[in-house]
Structure 1
């Protein structure tokens, strides 16, 4: 059974020269940066970027990350990163699909999980803050779990 997707967001970017090796293939470590760019784009879209998280009294470190490389991204290639938010109440879990922007060919699948941590106490929160729940619900594609 597929996980419920609360909302989807799409970000496009081009693989820059400084991300590739001598074979003009994106180095595997740069995919983490592509996920971060897409995640920041999504968070900005709901008005809950990292600065706002801090203002609300929380930091949101990555506590888990998984990547599966299917095909390499290459220098100059335009890629599309789909973020699918699949958990919002106990953590922020996002599934990602990186594809070629022109053809839709799958390049990479990934996921990240972030947990809210109180800035005041340093304690991990077992439920996400209400400020986060209010923000994510503003995304135009948001759907409640059934």
Structure 2
């Protein structure tokens, strides 16, 4: 069975907020990334590949993010991040993301957007730039788009 989406729940913690108890914008990106990592775990794929005999390993850096903040979140709010694959390219994935505040009887959309991640080969020396590579077939066989 191919997977095209994943969701993860969070509770806003105090250290994720400013002095007004409103979530700092950078934490939305942490939650999105944690949801993406949970997606990788669900399909049994590494987020960061082991280094090979040439000291090269794979990873998925972000190439672009475009989000719109619709409403603030506050300390102790219950949150759900919905991540879905919008498009698969030869070396990258474009994700659609929505974040909801979960109320006792409803859900409220607080962020929506998209971002892309590129499958790359890294060198362990830290000197060379990542090199985009085709998404491995074993990975492609586990995912699909939501279209």
Question: What TM-score, normalized to structure 2?
Answer: 0.79
Q: CA deviation at 1:143?
A: 6.1
Aligned pair partner of 1:108 in 111, 136, 141: 111
The aligned counterpart of 1:12 is 9
Give the conservation status (yes or no) of the 8 Å contact 1:12–1:101.
Answer: no
Higher gyration radius (CA): 2
Q: How does 1:119-138 map to 2 (within 5 A)?
A: 119=122, 122-125=130-133, 127-136=134-143
Deviations 1:20-45 (A, max 9, x none): 01111001111110111111111111
The aligned counterpart of 1:38 is 35
| Two-structure CA RMSD over aligned residues (Å) | 2.3
Deviations 1:116-138 (A, max 9, x none): 1123694212x3221221232xx
| Alpha-carbon distance in structure 2 between the residues aligned to 1:113 and 1:89 | 10
1:94 is paired with a residue whose SS is strand
Give the conservation status (yes or no) of the 8 Å contact 2:85–2:146.
Answer: no
Moved over 6 A (4+): none
Greater helix proportion: 1
- Is 1:79 matched with 2:79? yes
Q: CA deviation at 1:49?
A: 2.9
Aligned residues: 133
- Is 1:94 matched with 2:95? yes
| Alpha-carbon distance in structure 2 between the residues aligned to 1:144 and 1:85 | 6
| Alpha-carbon distance in structure 2 between the residues aligned to 1:143 and 1:109 | 18
Q: CA deviation at 1:89?
A: 3.3
- In structure 1, list runs of 5 or more residues that go unmatched: 1-5, 137-141
Greater strand proportion: 2
CA 20–60 in structure 1, closer or farther in 2 if over 3 Å, else same: same
Q: CA deviation at 1:111?
A: 1.7
